[in-house]
């Protein structure tokens, strides 16, 4: 396998930073029906970087370019890249020897890197830089013989990649309720790390309970939860205060999308997570309304949702409202 340092360099350019958006304005319309758009929304820099990496690889090397797992958890993005010549696989042994493979934004374990090397694959690492930071923290704390309590969801690619950096030192903590059953070798050498796409509220509750059990629990050097994940959770809390129905535009396998729907019940509004524009409601969860009224709707796009999909959602919503109004 061509090493990540020796491989030919492909200029990715600067991430496409979303434009500055003004504050939401209360604009009266007939019938007092409004669609509120949360801000910020859409792509984060890490997702944008990963998508550009696949596009540039196809442009530079030609199709097909293989991608391990979904480059980001969004079926709209995956479908667009497939049309350009990307082939998504579950494991590296599905890739022809000597081909080019992109590691997704969620990161991979050293075992996956080694498996790609054994097949002579040319690897392109599109791991989000924040995920890479968490990997390096895991390696460093394991080297110092710390027990690492990794807060995250079992089976998620990011968690598998981080845990794979130090499998003998990592214990997965899936929720606050699991804390009571955690056992460690040395309670004085314990540190917590987290998946980058978690609910901030739930993660802090998990940390609080861990610290009750292990008072000498150390914190990571800096926040592990992505800044884009955090500010979008704050945004949905704000918009939900004024909305009767909150629609999170994203995919059901997206940790970010599901966390946004989970954040919403804490402010007592109805939340829905449509998987595709034509499959609205199939993945709906945690539905609660306000006095049965449905006059105000908030739309929240998770951090890997394309702008075109959000516009299509808004058009569909307004067509539906006009039909209801006769």
Q: Annotated catalytic residue: which of 55, 147, 158, 262?
A: 158
Residue 100 assigned as binding residue: no
DSSP, residue by residue, 208-234: HHHHHH-TTPBPPSS--S-HHHHHHHH
158 carries an active-site annotation: yes
Strand arrangement, sheet containing 190-194: 170-173, 147-151, 190-194
Residue 156 assigned as binding residue: yes
Residue 122 assigned as binding residue: no
Residue 256 assigned as binding residue: yes
Q: What is the spatial distance between Cα 316 and Cα 278, in angstroms, rounded to a whole number?
A: 10
Residue 254 assigned as binding residue: yes
Residue 73 assigned as binding residue: yes
Q: Which of 224, 317, 319, 281 is nearest to 37 (CA)?
A: 317
Task: Classify 89 as helix, strand or coil.
Answer: strand
Cβ contacts of 60 within 8 Å, gap of 6 or more? 8, 10
Contact criterion met (CB below 8 Å) for 100 and 122: yes
Q: Pairing between strand 270-272 and 34-37?
A: unpaired
Report, as residue numbers or ranges, the catalytic residues.
158
Binding-site members are: 44, 73, 106, 128, 156, 196, 226, 254-256
List residues forming the annotated binding site for isopentenyl diphosphate: 73, 106, 156, 254-256
């Amino acid at each position: 396998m061509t090493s990540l340092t020796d491989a030919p360099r492909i200029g990715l350019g600067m991430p496409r930073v979303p434009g500055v958006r003004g504050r939401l304005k209360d604009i009266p319309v007939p019938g007092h029906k409004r669609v509120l758009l949360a801000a910020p929304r859409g792509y984060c820099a890490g997702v944008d970087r990963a998508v550009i990496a696949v596009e540039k690889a196809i442009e530079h090397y030609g199709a097909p370019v293989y991608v391990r797992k979904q480059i980001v958890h969004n079926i709209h993005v995956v479908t667009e890249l497939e049309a350009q010549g990307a082939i998504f696989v579950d494991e590296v042994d599905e890739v022809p020897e000597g081909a080019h493979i992109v590691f997704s934004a969620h990161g991979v374990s050293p075992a996956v890197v080694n498996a790609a090397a054994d097949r002579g694959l040319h690897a392109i690492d599109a791991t989000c830089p924040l995920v890479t930071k968490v990997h390096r923290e895991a390696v460093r704390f394991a080297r110092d013989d710390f027990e690492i309590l990794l807060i995250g969801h079992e089976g998620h690619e990011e968690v598998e990649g981080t845990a794979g950096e130090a499998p003998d030192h990592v214990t997965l903590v899936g929720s606050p309720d699991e804390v009571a059953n955690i056992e460690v070798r040395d309670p004085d050498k314990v540190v917590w790390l987290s998946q980058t796409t978690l609910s901030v509220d739930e993660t802090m509750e998990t940390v609080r309970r861990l610290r009750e059990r292990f008072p000498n629990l150390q914190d990571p050097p800096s926040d592990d939860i992505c800044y884009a994940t955090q500010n979008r959770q704050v945004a949905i809390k704000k918009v939900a205060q004024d909305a009767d129905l909150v629609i999170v535009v994203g995919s059901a396998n997206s940790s970010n999308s599901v966390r946004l729907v989970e954040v919403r019940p804490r402010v007592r509004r109805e939340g829905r997570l449509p998987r595709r524009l034509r499959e609205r409601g199939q993945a709906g969860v945690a539905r609660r309304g306000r006095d049965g009224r449905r006059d105000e709707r908030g739309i929240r796009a998770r951090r890997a949702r394309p702008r075109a999909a959000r516009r299509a959602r808004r058009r569909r919503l307004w067509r539906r409202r006009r039909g209801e109004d006769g």
